[in-house]
Amino acid sequence: MEIIPAIDLRAGQVVRLSAGDFARQTTYAADPLAVAQRFEAAGLRRLHLVDLDGARAGRPVNLGVLETLARHTALDIDFGGGVQAGAVAEEVFSAGARHLTAGSLAVRDPAAVRGWLARWGAEKIFLGADFRGQHLLVNAWAEQSASTLSGFVADYLAAGGHTFVCTDVSKDGLLQGPSLAVYKELRAQFPAARFVASGGVTTVADLEALADAGLHGAIIGKALYEGTIALDDLRRFL
């Protein structure tokens, strides 16, 4: 299972939200590069970079940070937040992202994202499923869509996608454990898919449980910043 640290950006700083609520923000660092380099020095190879400003604005706002991280680290970066058009996706890849996570647009305009899959391939285009209960959230988690998590996965598997970043917004940033039962159900229903768990990962035991359940990856955010998981604890997974 891949261990993927997260950096969420707001006004160029490293922050975390609680349950997707922009009014419940904790700022952890002013220098995202220093944070990313610390992750890299610990042996981590991946980075999940989220442009929270971009998610709200409907266009990336922190591409300069992406460029800096890509230039000064060798981390394999997947980027999400505000990418609404193919031309913007090109800018994200040009700025140094190796993967792009399509979230709200993948729900609202599946034809566009199917086009991205055809153009760039499933290794570069990940599908972001931000969910609460059975339904997906869009527009920086402000709106509940009619799309269900299982329906979303089924549709994009049929379209050639294979990597799904599944974030339980109700758990994100709360350090209450991941939605293990949901991920187990998804794995049983869609064995061909790669699922990356996001939201609520709090302890090494959580990571072990996700690995045992067959998750392709696990994103860790607040647990690293609050110290409930230490970077040294991750060596067994690398």
Tokens 């959580």 appear where? 206
44 φ/ψ angles, rounded to the nearest 5 degrees? -75, 145
Instruction: Check if 233 is active-site.
Output: no
Q: Out of 53, 130, 172, 206, pick the active-site residue.
A: 130
Tokens 């061909």 appear where? 192
Instruction: Check if 130 is active-site.
Output: yes
- CA dist list (Å): 197 to 13, 59, 87, 157: 24, 25, 29, 17
Alpha-carbon span 198 to 56, nearest angstrom: 20
Q: Out of 8, 51, 53, 78, pick the active-site residue.
A: 8
- For residue 105, what are the contacts with CB-CB under 8 A and spacing of at least 6? 83, 84, 112, 113
Q: Which residues are catalytic?
A: 8, 130
